[in-house]
Structure 1
Protein backbone atom coordinates (compact mmCIF):
# COMPACT_ATOMS: atom_id res chain seq x y z
CA UNK A 1 0.00 0.00 0.00
CA UNK A 2 1.33 3.45 -0.94
CA UNK A 3 2.31 5.55 2.08
CA UNK A 4 0.42 8.82 2.51
CA UNK A 5 2.42 11.99 3.06
CA UNK A 6 -0.48 14.37 3.74
CA UNK A 7 -4.14 13.57 4.41
CA UNK A 8 -7.08 15.93 4.86
CA UNK A 9 -10.11 14.39 6.51
CA UNK A 10 -13.43 16.26 6.29
CA UNK A 11 -11.64 19.59 6.47
CA UNK A 12 -13.75 22.76 6.51
CA UNK A 13 -12.54 26.33 6.94
CA UNK A 14 -14.96 29.14 7.64
CA UNK A 15 -14.18 32.81 8.12
CA UNK A 16 -16.43 35.03 10.20
CA UNK A 17 -19.70 34.04 11.84
CA UNK A 18 -23.43 34.32 11.42
CA UNK A 19 -24.85 35.69 8.18
CA UNK A 20 -21.46 37.12 7.17
CA UNK A 21 -19.61 33.78 7.45
CA UNK A 22 -17.70 32.66 4.37
CA UNK A 23 -16.87 28.98 3.77
CA UNK A 24 -13.48 28.68 2.04
CA UNK A 25 -13.30 24.87 2.33
CA UNK A 26 -16.33 22.64 2.69
CA UNK A 27 -15.79 19.08 3.97
CA UNK A 28 -12.70 18.33 1.88
CA UNK A 29 -11.07 14.90 2.11
CA UNK A 30 -7.90 14.32 0.10
CA UNK A 31 -4.78 12.17 0.35
CA UNK A 32 -1.40 12.95 -1.17
CA UNK A 33 0.82 9.84 -1.48
CA UNK A 34 4.53 10.11 -0.79
CA UNK A 35 6.71 10.88 -3.79
CA UNK A 36 3.88 12.23 -5.93
CA UNK A 37 3.28 15.58 -7.63
CA UNK A 38 -0.27 16.97 -7.38
CA UNK A 39 -1.61 20.16 -8.97
CA UNK A 40 -4.63 21.90 -7.43
CA UNK A 41 -6.73 24.01 -9.78
CA UNK A 42 -9.91 26.06 -9.65
CA UNK A 43 -11.22 29.50 -10.34
CA UNK A 44 -10.49 32.45 -8.03
CA UNK A 45 -12.25 31.94 -4.71
CA UNK A 46 -12.50 28.17 -5.09
CA UNK A 47 -10.40 27.54 -1.94
CA UNK A 48 -7.08 26.54 -3.51
CA UNK A 49 -4.81 28.68 -1.33
CA UNK A 50 -6.82 27.90 1.80
CA UNK A 51 -6.41 24.19 1.11
CA UNK A 52 -2.67 24.64 0.75
CA UNK A 53 -2.39 26.67 3.96
CA UNK A 54 -4.45 24.19 5.99
CA UNK A 55 -2.50 21.22 4.63
CA UNK A 56 0.80 22.95 5.45
CA UNK A 57 -0.23 23.88 8.98
CA UNK A 58 -0.22 27.60 8.24
CA UNK A 59 -3.95 27.88 8.92
CA UNK A 60 -6.11 25.81 11.25
CA UNK A 61 -9.29 24.20 9.91
CA UNK A 62 -12.58 25.09 11.52
CA UNK A 63 -13.33 21.37 11.59
CA UNK A 64 -11.76 18.14 10.38
CA UNK A 65 -8.17 16.98 10.65
CA UNK A 66 -4.87 17.20 8.78
CA UNK A 67 -2.20 14.52 9.12
CA UNK A 68 1.44 14.73 8.06
CA UNK A 69 2.43 11.09 7.97
CA UNK A 70 1.18 9.90 11.35
CA UNK A 71 1.22 13.33 13.00
CA UNK A 72 -2.07 15.14 13.58
CA UNK A 73 -1.36 18.81 12.84
CA UNK A 74 -4.62 20.21 14.14
CA UNK A 75 -3.88 19.05 17.68
CA UNK A 76 -0.39 20.57 17.95
CA UNK A 77 0.44 23.70 19.91
CA UNK A 78 1.63 26.71 17.92
CA UNK A 79 5.19 26.08 19.11
CA UNK A 80 5.23 22.43 18.08
CA UNK A 81 3.49 23.23 14.81
CA UNK A 82 6.16 25.82 13.99
CA UNK A 83 8.93 23.33 14.77
CA UNK A 84 7.30 20.67 12.59
CA UNK A 85 6.95 23.07 9.65
CA UNK A 86 10.61 24.06 9.91
CA UNK A 87 11.76 20.45 9.91
CA UNK A 88 9.41 18.72 7.47
CA UNK A 89 7.50 21.21 5.30
CA UNK A 90 8.51 23.68 2.61
CA UNK A 91 6.21 26.44 1.35
CA UNK A 92 6.60 28.73 -1.66
CA UNK A 93 4.41 31.81 -1.28
CA UNK A 94 2.85 33.55 -4.25
CA UNK A 95 4.02 36.90 -2.82
CA UNK A 96 7.64 35.63 -2.36
CA UNK A 97 7.89 37.00 1.25
CA UNK A 98 11.62 37.70 0.94
CA UNK A 99 13.27 39.98 3.49
CA UNK A 100 14.43 43.09 1.59
CA UNK A 101 17.46 43.73 3.81
CA UNK A 102 18.93 40.26 3.18
CA UNK A 103 20.77 38.99 0.13
CA UNK A 104 19.42 36.05 -1.88
CA UNK A 105 21.90 33.80 -0.10
CA UNK A 106 20.85 35.07 3.32
CA UNK A 107 17.15 34.70 2.50
CA UNK A 108 17.71 31.08 1.46
CA UNK A 109 19.69 30.35 4.63
CA UNK A 110 17.06 31.92 6.90
CA UNK A 111 14.96 28.77 7.59
CA UNK A 112 18.07 26.95 8.79
CA UNK A 113 19.06 29.85 11.06
CA UNK A 114 15.54 30.04 12.51
CA UNK A 115 15.80 26.32 13.28
CA UNK A 116 19.03 26.98 15.20
CA UNK A 117 21.20 25.32 12.56
CA UNK A 118 24.34 26.75 11.04
CA UNK A 119 23.64 26.85 7.30
CA UNK A 120 26.49 25.28 5.29
CA UNK A 121 27.37 27.89 2.68
CA UNK A 122 28.10 25.22 0.08
CA UNK A 123 24.60 23.77 0.51
CA UNK A 124 22.96 27.20 0.24
CA UNK A 125 24.92 27.93 -2.95
CA UNK A 126 24.03 24.50 -4.33
CA UNK A 127 20.31 25.16 -3.85
CA UNK A 128 20.63 28.57 -5.51
CA UNK A 129 22.45 26.91 -8.38
CA UNK A 130 19.59 24.41 -8.78
CA UNK A 131 17.21 27.30 -9.48
CA UNK A 132 19.74 29.03 -11.76
CA UNK A 133 20.71 31.86 -9.41
CA UNK A 134 24.21 31.02 -8.21
CA UNK A 135 25.44 34.27 -9.76
CA UNK A 136 22.83 36.31 -7.85
CA UNK A 137 23.68 35.02 -4.36
CA UNK A 138 24.77 38.43 -3.04
CA UNK A 139 21.96 40.45 -4.62
CA UNK A 140 19.16 41.84 -2.47
CA UNK A 141 15.54 41.40 -3.65
CA UNK A 142 15.41 44.98 -4.96
CA UNK A 143 18.08 44.06 -7.50
CA UNK A 144 16.26 40.94 -8.68
CA UNK A 145 13.43 40.62 -11.17
CA UNK A 146 10.08 39.17 -10.08
CA UNK A 147 10.98 35.84 -11.63
CA UNK A 148 14.34 35.78 -9.86
CA UNK A 149 12.68 36.59 -6.54
CA UNK A 150 10.28 33.69 -7.07
CA UNK A 151 13.21 31.35 -7.64
CA UNK A 152 14.90 32.59 -4.46
CA UNK A 153 11.66 31.82 -2.62
CA UNK A 154 11.71 28.31 -4.12
CA UNK A 155 15.34 27.82 -3.10
CA UNK A 156 14.48 28.94 0.45
CA UNK A 157 11.74 26.27 0.59
CA UNK A 158 14.15 23.59 -0.68
CA UNK A 159 17.09 24.34 1.60
CA UNK A 160 15.72 22.30 4.53
CA UNK A 161 15.13 19.26 2.29
CA UNK A 162 11.43 19.08 3.21
CA UNK A 163 9.34 15.91 3.05
CA UNK A 164 6.48 17.88 1.50
CA UNK A 165 6.74 21.02 -0.62
CA UNK A 166 3.68 23.25 -1.02
CA UNK A 167 3.86 25.81 -3.82
CA UNK A 168 1.31 28.56 -4.44
CA UNK A 169 1.58 29.59 -8.12
CA UNK A 170 5.36 28.95 -8.27
CA UNK A 171 5.55 29.76 -12.00
CA UNK A 172 3.13 32.67 -12.00
CA UNK A 173 5.84 35.34 -12.32
CA UNK A 174 8.19 33.37 -14.56
CA UNK A 175 8.81 33.39 -18.29
CA UNK A 176 8.30 30.19 -20.27
CA UNK A 177 11.92 29.06 -20.13
CA UNK A 178 12.31 29.66 -16.40
CA UNK A 179 8.93 28.05 -15.71
CA UNK A 180 10.13 24.94 -17.49
CA UNK A 181 13.28 24.89 -15.33
CA UNK A 182 11.28 25.18 -12.10
CA UNK A 183 8.73 22.54 -13.13
CA UNK A 184 11.51 20.16 -14.15
CA UNK A 185 13.06 20.67 -10.71
CA UNK A 186 9.76 19.96 -8.94
CA UNK A 187 9.19 16.87 -11.09
CA UNK A 188 12.70 15.59 -10.24
CA UNK A 189 12.11 16.17 -6.53
CA UNK A 190 9.16 13.77 -6.68
CA UNK A 191 10.71 11.22 -9.05
CA UNK A 192 14.33 11.16 -7.89
CA UNK A 193 14.13 12.26 -4.24
CA UNK A 194 10.77 10.85 -3.22
CA UNK A 195 9.43 14.19 -2.01
CA UNK A 196 5.76 15.07 -2.16
CA UNK A 197 4.79 18.16 -4.17
CA UNK A 198 1.45 19.95 -3.90
CA UNK A 199 1.15 22.92 -6.26
CA UNK A 200 -1.62 25.45 -6.81
CA UNK A 201 -1.66 26.77 -10.36
CA UNK A 202 -3.90 28.40 -12.96
CA UNK A 203 -1.68 27.16 -15.80
CA UNK A 204 -2.75 23.93 -17.59
CA UNK A 205 0.79 23.50 -18.96
CA UNK A 206 2.25 23.63 -15.45
CA UNK A 207 -0.47 21.29 -14.16
CA UNK A 208 0.31 18.77 -16.92
CA UNK A 209 3.70 18.15 -15.26
CA UNK A 210 1.91 16.70 -12.23
CA UNK A 211 0.81 13.10 -11.69
CA UNK A 212 -2.74 14.25 -11.06
CA UNK A 213 -4.81 17.41 -11.05
CA UNK A 214 -7.42 18.04 -8.35
CA UNK A 215 -10.17 20.55 -9.15
CA UNK A 216 -11.93 22.71 -6.57
CA UNK A 217 -15.24 24.52 -6.97
CA UNK A 218 -16.70 26.63 -4.15
CA UNK A 219 -14.50 24.99 -1.54
CA UNK A 220 -15.33 21.42 -2.57
CA UNK A 221 -13.42 18.81 -4.54
CA UNK A 222 -14.95 18.63 -8.02
CA UNK A 223 -13.10 15.68 -9.51
CA UNK A 224 -9.57 15.02 -10.70
CA UNK A 225 -7.55 13.96 -13.72
CA UNK A 226 -4.57 11.62 -13.73
CA UNK A 227 -1.73 11.85 -16.24
CA UNK A 228 -3.62 14.48 -18.23
CA UNK A 229 -2.23 16.64 -21.03
CA UNK A 230 -2.44 20.43 -20.99
CA UNK A 231 -5.27 20.50 -23.56
CA UNK A 232 -7.39 18.11 -21.50
CA UNK A 233 -6.80 20.15 -18.36
CA UNK A 234 -7.64 23.41 -20.14
CA UNK A 235 -10.85 21.88 -21.47
CA UNK A 236 -11.78 20.70 -17.97
CA UNK A 237 -11.09 24.15 -16.52
CA UNK A 238 -13.13 26.02 -19.13
CA UNK A 239 -16.04 23.59 -19.23
CA UNK A 240 -19.60 24.89 -19.02
CA UNK A 241 -20.87 26.09 -15.66
CA UNK A 242 -24.47 25.75 -14.58
CA UNK A 243 -25.56 29.14 -13.25
CA UNK A 244 -28.57 29.66 -10.99
CA UNK A 245 -31.61 31.28 -12.63
Structure 2
Protein backbone atom coordinates (compact mmCIF):
# COMPACT_ATOMS: atom_id res chain seq x y z
CA UNK A 1 0.00 0.00 0.00
CA UNK A 2 1.35 3.44 -0.89
CA UNK A 3 2.13 6.15 1.69
CA UNK A 4 -0.70 8.24 0.22
CA UNK A 5 -3.25 5.51 0.80
CA UNK A 6 -1.98 5.00 4.34
CA UNK A 7 -2.35 8.71 5.08
CA UNK A 8 -5.83 8.96 3.60
CA UNK A 9 -6.96 5.97 5.70
CA UNK A 10 -6.16 8.11 8.75
CA UNK A 11 -8.39 11.13 9.27
CA UNK A 12 -5.77 12.54 11.65
CA UNK A 13 -2.17 11.48 12.27
CA UNK A 14 0.07 12.84 15.02
CA UNK A 15 3.77 11.98 15.01
CA UNK A 16 6.29 12.81 17.73
CA UNK A 17 4.30 15.78 19.00
CA UNK A 18 5.64 17.69 21.99
CA UNK A 19 4.05 20.76 23.56
CA UNK A 20 5.43 22.69 26.53
CA UNK A 21 3.96 25.65 28.38
CA UNK A 22 5.44 27.96 30.98
CA UNK A 23 8.93 29.42 31.20
CA UNK A 24 12.34 27.88 30.58
CA UNK A 25 12.87 27.88 34.34
CA UNK A 26 9.53 26.19 35.07
CA UNK A 27 8.41 24.31 31.97
CA UNK A 28 5.19 22.29 31.99
CA UNK A 29 5.25 19.45 29.48
CA UNK A 30 1.68 18.99 28.26
CA UNK A 31 2.55 16.47 25.52
CA UNK A 32 5.72 14.40 25.54
CA UNK A 33 6.64 12.93 22.12
CA UNK A 34 3.13 11.62 21.38
CA UNK A 35 2.51 9.53 18.26
CA UNK A 36 -0.99 8.38 17.39
CA UNK A 37 -3.29 8.16 14.40
CA UNK A 38 -7.07 8.14 14.19
CA UNK A 39 -8.61 5.96 11.51
CA UNK A 40 -11.36 7.35 9.33
CA UNK A 41 -14.96 6.40 10.19
CA UNK A 42 -14.20 5.58 13.83
CA UNK A 43 -15.24 6.98 17.21
CA UNK A 44 -12.35 7.58 19.64
CA UNK A 45 -12.57 8.78 23.25
CA UNK A 46 -9.53 10.46 24.82
CA UNK A 47 -9.44 10.24 28.62
CA UNK A 48 -7.09 11.05 31.44
CA UNK A 49 -6.82 12.94 34.74
CA UNK A 50 -6.83 16.73 34.79
CA UNK A 51 -3.51 17.97 33.43
CA UNK A 52 -2.84 14.75 31.53
CA UNK A 53 -2.61 16.53 28.16
CA UNK A 54 -5.85 15.36 26.58
CA UNK A 55 -7.14 18.84 25.70
CA UNK A 56 -3.72 19.86 24.39
CA UNK A 57 -3.67 16.74 22.21
CA UNK A 58 -7.04 17.70 20.77
CA UNK A 59 -5.98 21.31 20.17
CA UNK A 60 -2.79 20.24 18.39
CA UNK A 61 -4.52 17.49 16.40
CA UNK A 62 -7.22 19.96 15.30
CA UNK A 63 -4.74 22.62 14.27
CA UNK A 64 -5.80 25.07 16.98
CA UNK A 65 -2.30 25.09 18.46
CA UNK A 66 1.10 24.51 16.92
CA UNK A 67 3.21 21.84 18.65
CA UNK A 68 6.78 22.67 19.65
CA UNK A 69 7.93 19.59 17.75
CA UNK A 70 6.38 16.86 15.65
CA UNK A 71 4.00 16.52 12.72
CA UNK A 72 0.20 16.76 12.53
CA UNK A 73 -1.72 15.70 9.42
CA UNK A 74 -5.43 16.14 8.79
CA UNK A 75 -6.77 14.23 5.82
CA UNK A 76 -3.20 13.69 4.64
CA UNK A 77 -2.29 17.42 4.77
CA UNK A 78 0.74 18.33 6.89
CA UNK A 79 -0.23 21.36 9.00
CA UNK A 80 3.38 22.32 9.76
CA UNK A 81 4.18 24.29 6.56
CA UNK A 82 0.81 26.10 6.49
CA UNK A 83 0.62 29.76 7.48
CA UNK A 84 -2.17 30.94 9.77
CA UNK A 85 -4.51 31.87 6.92
CA UNK A 86 -4.21 28.45 5.29
CA UNK A 87 -4.54 26.68 8.66
CA UNK A 88 -7.74 28.61 9.30
CA UNK A 89 -9.09 27.66 5.87
CA UNK A 90 -8.25 24.01 6.47
CA UNK A 91 -10.00 24.03 9.85
CA UNK A 92 -13.11 25.62 8.38
CA UNK A 93 -13.35 23.03 5.62
CA UNK A 94 -12.01 19.83 7.18
CA UNK A 95 -12.54 20.13 10.94
CA UNK A 96 -15.75 20.35 12.94
CA UNK A 97 -15.86 21.36 16.61
CA UNK A 98 -18.40 20.74 19.35
CA UNK A 99 -17.72 22.07 22.84
CA UNK A 100 -19.29 21.76 26.27
CA UNK A 101 -20.64 25.30 25.86
CA UNK A 102 -22.96 25.32 22.88
CA UNK A 103 -21.66 28.70 21.57
CA UNK A 104 -24.82 29.40 19.58
CA UNK A 105 -25.70 32.95 18.56
CA UNK A 106 -28.78 33.80 20.61
CA UNK A 107 -30.34 36.11 18.01
CA UNK A 108 -30.13 33.55 15.19
CA UNK A 109 -32.45 30.64 14.48
CA UNK A 110 -31.18 27.06 14.48
CA UNK A 111 -31.01 27.18 10.68
CA UNK A 112 -29.05 30.44 10.71
CA UNK A 113 -26.64 29.12 13.36
CA UNK A 114 -25.96 26.03 11.29
CA UNK A 115 -25.37 28.12 8.16
CA UNK A 116 -22.84 30.37 9.94
CA UNK A 117 -19.64 28.39 9.16
CA UNK A 118 -20.48 28.43 5.45
CA UNK A 119 -21.06 32.19 5.51
CA UNK A 120 -17.77 32.73 7.35
CA UNK A 121 -16.08 30.78 4.58
CA UNK A 122 -17.51 33.16 2.01
CA UNK A 123 -20.13 30.74 0.70
CA UNK A 124 -23.86 31.19 0.14
CA UNK A 125 -25.46 28.35 2.13
CA UNK A 126 -27.99 26.24 0.27
CA UNK A 127 -31.13 25.77 2.32
CA UNK A 128 -31.29 22.06 1.56
CA UNK A 129 -27.70 21.59 2.80
CA UNK A 130 -28.42 23.34 6.09
CA UNK A 131 -31.71 21.51 6.63
CA UNK A 132 -30.02 18.18 5.86
CA UNK A 133 -27.51 18.87 8.66
CA UNK A 134 -30.38 19.59 11.06
CA UNK A 135 -32.21 16.47 9.89
CA UNK A 136 -29.08 14.42 10.61
CA UNK A 137 -29.34 15.35 14.30
CA UNK A 138 -33.12 14.99 14.45
CA UNK A 139 -33.97 18.70 14.47
CA UNK A 140 -35.35 19.32 11.01
CA UNK A 141 -38.58 20.53 12.62
CA UNK A 142 -36.77 23.08 14.81
CA UNK A 143 -35.06 25.06 12.03
CA UNK A 144 -36.90 28.29 12.86
CA UNK A 145 -36.37 28.14 16.64
CA UNK A 146 -33.86 30.34 18.46
CA UNK A 147 -31.59 28.85 21.17
CA UNK A 148 -33.79 30.13 24.02
CA UNK A 149 -36.67 28.10 22.58
CA UNK A 150 -34.65 24.86 22.64
CA UNK A 151 -33.62 22.52 25.45
CA UNK A 152 -29.96 22.11 26.35
CA UNK A 153 -29.78 18.82 24.48
CA UNK A 154 -31.39 20.37 21.41
CA UNK A 155 -28.96 23.29 21.51
CA UNK A 156 -26.03 20.88 21.60
CA UNK A 157 -27.50 19.03 18.63
CA UNK A 158 -27.74 22.34 16.73
CA UNK A 159 -24.07 22.87 17.55
CA UNK A 160 -23.43 19.37 16.22
CA UNK A 161 -25.28 20.16 12.99
CA UNK A 162 -23.27 23.38 12.66
CA UNK A 163 -20.06 21.34 12.96
CA UNK A 164 -21.26 18.89 10.30
CA UNK A 165 -22.56 21.31 7.66
CA UNK A 166 -19.11 21.75 6.08
CA UNK A 167 -18.76 17.95 5.75
CA UNK A 168 -15.54 17.86 7.79
CA UNK A 169 -12.90 15.16 7.61
CA UNK A 170 -13.04 14.86 11.40
CA UNK A 171 -15.32 16.04 14.19
CA UNK A 172 -13.68 16.98 17.49
CA UNK A 173 -15.91 17.08 20.57
CA UNK A 174 -14.66 18.51 23.87
CA UNK A 175 -16.84 17.25 26.74
CA UNK A 176 -19.92 17.42 24.47
CA UNK A 177 -22.31 16.13 27.15
CA UNK A 178 -20.73 17.90 30.12
CA UNK A 179 -23.43 20.57 30.44
CA UNK A 180 -26.39 18.26 29.83
CA UNK A 181 -28.75 16.22 31.96
CA UNK A 182 -28.70 12.44 31.65
CA UNK A 183 -31.50 12.17 29.09
CA UNK A 184 -30.03 14.89 26.85
CA UNK A 185 -26.56 13.40 27.21
CA UNK A 186 -27.79 10.04 25.96
CA UNK A 187 -29.50 11.65 22.98
CA UNK A 188 -26.39 13.60 21.95
CA UNK A 189 -24.25 10.51 22.46
CA UNK A 190 -26.60 8.43 20.30
CA UNK A 191 -26.35 11.03 17.56
CA UNK A 192 -22.55 10.95 17.69
CA UNK A 193 -22.57 7.16 17.47
CA UNK A 194 -25.00 7.27 14.54
CA UNK A 195 -22.76 9.72 12.69
CA UNK A 196 -19.99 7.14 12.72
CA UNK A 197 -22.11 4.07 12.03
CA UNK A 198 -24.50 5.51 9.46
CA UNK A 199 -22.65 8.46 7.90
CA UNK A 200 -19.02 7.34 8.11
CA UNK A 201 -17.98 10.39 10.13
CA UNK A 202 -14.76 10.37 12.17
CA UNK A 203 -15.31 11.49 15.78
CA UNK A 204 -12.66 12.22 18.41
CA UNK A 205 -13.97 13.26 21.80
CA UNK A 206 -12.22 14.36 24.97
CA UNK A 207 -14.29 13.29 27.95
CA UNK A 208 -14.28 12.52 31.67
CA UNK A 209 -17.53 10.55 31.33
CA UNK A 210 -17.18 6.74 31.28
CA UNK A 211 -20.63 6.47 29.65
CA UNK A 212 -19.45 8.56 26.70
CA UNK A 213 -16.24 6.56 26.43
CA UNK A 214 -18.19 3.29 26.54
CA UNK A 215 -19.84 4.26 23.24
CA UNK A 216 -16.47 4.67 21.50
CA UNK A 217 -14.68 2.12 19.32
CA UNK A 218 -11.38 3.02 20.94
CA UNK A 219 -10.27 4.67 24.19
CA UNK A 220 -6.92 6.43 24.51
CA UNK A 221 -5.75 7.05 28.08
CA UNK A 222 -3.23 9.81 28.80
CA UNK A 223 -1.21 10.62 31.89
CA UNK A 224 1.60 13.16 32.29
CA UNK A 225 1.52 14.03 28.62
CA UNK A 226 1.98 10.47 27.38
CA UNK A 227 -0.27 7.72 26.09
CA UNK A 228 -0.40 5.05 28.79
CA UNK A 229 -3.06 2.82 27.25
CA UNK A 230 -4.75 2.48 23.87
CA UNK A 231 -7.78 0.17 24.01
CA UNK A 232 -9.21 -0.71 20.60
CA UNK A 233 -12.21 -2.67 21.79
CA UNK A 234 -15.43 -1.51 23.42
CA UNK A 235 -15.32 -1.29 27.23
CA UNK A 236 -18.19 -1.00 29.68
CA UNK A 237 -18.55 2.17 31.76
CA UNK A 238 -17.67 0.54 35.10
CA UNK A 239 -14.40 -0.85 33.74
CA UNK A 240 -13.53 2.55 32.30
CA UNK A 241 -14.32 4.26 35.61
CA UNK A 242 -12.01 1.84 37.44
CA UNK A 243 -9.24 2.47 34.92
CA UNK A 244 -9.60 6.21 35.39
CA UNK A 245 -9.45 5.85 39.18
CA UNK A 246 -6.15 4.00 38.87
CA UNK A 247 -4.74 6.76 36.65
CA UNK A 248 -5.81 9.48 39.05
CA UNK A 249 -4.18 7.60 41.96
CA UNK A 250 -0.81 7.31 40.19
Provide TM-score, normalisation by structure 1.
0.90
Q: Note if 1:97 corresponds to 2:99.
A: no
Aligned counterparts of 1:159 and 1:86: Cα–Cα separation in 2: 10
Q: In angstroms, what is the RMSD of aligned CA positions?
A: 2.0
Could you say what secondary structure the match of 2:154 adopts? helix
Could you tell me which residue of structure 1 aligns to residue 241 of structure 2?
234
Mapping of residues 70-149 of structure 1, within 5 Å: 70-149=76-155
Aligned counterparts of 1:70 and 1:130: Cα–Cα separation in 2: 27
Equivalent pairs, count: 243
Structure 1 residues 53-62 or 145-154, which shifts more?
145-154
Work out whether residues 47 and 219 of structure 1, in 8 Å CA contact, stay in contact via their aligned partners in 2.
yes
C-alpha deviation, 1:123, in angstroms: 2.6
Work out whether residues 101 and 179 of structure 2, in 8 Å CA contact, stay in contact via their aligned partners in 1.
no
Please give the per-residue CA displacement for 1:184-230, whole angstroms capped at 9, x wherever unaligned.
22222222222211011111111111111000112111112222121
Could you tell me which residue of structure 2 aligns to residue 19 of structure 1?
25
Could you tell me which residue of structure 2 aligns to residue 45 of structure 1?
51
Work out whether residues 171 and 202 of structure 2, in 8 Å CA contact, stay in contact via their aligned partners in 1.
yes
C-alpha deviation, 1:180, in angstroms: 2.2
C-alpha deviation, 1:120, in angstroms: 1.7
Please give the per-residue CA displacement for 1:155-195, whole angstroms capped at 9, x wherever unaligned.
11011111111100111122223222222222222222222
Mapping of residues 164-175 of structure 1, within 5 Å: 164-175=170-181
Structure 2: unaligned runs, 5 residues or longer: none
Q: 1:224 aligns with which of 225, 230, 234?
A: 230
Structure 1: unaligned runs, 5 residues or longer: none
C-alpha deviation, 1:35, in angstroms: 1.0
Could you say what secondary structure the match of 1:19 adopts? coil
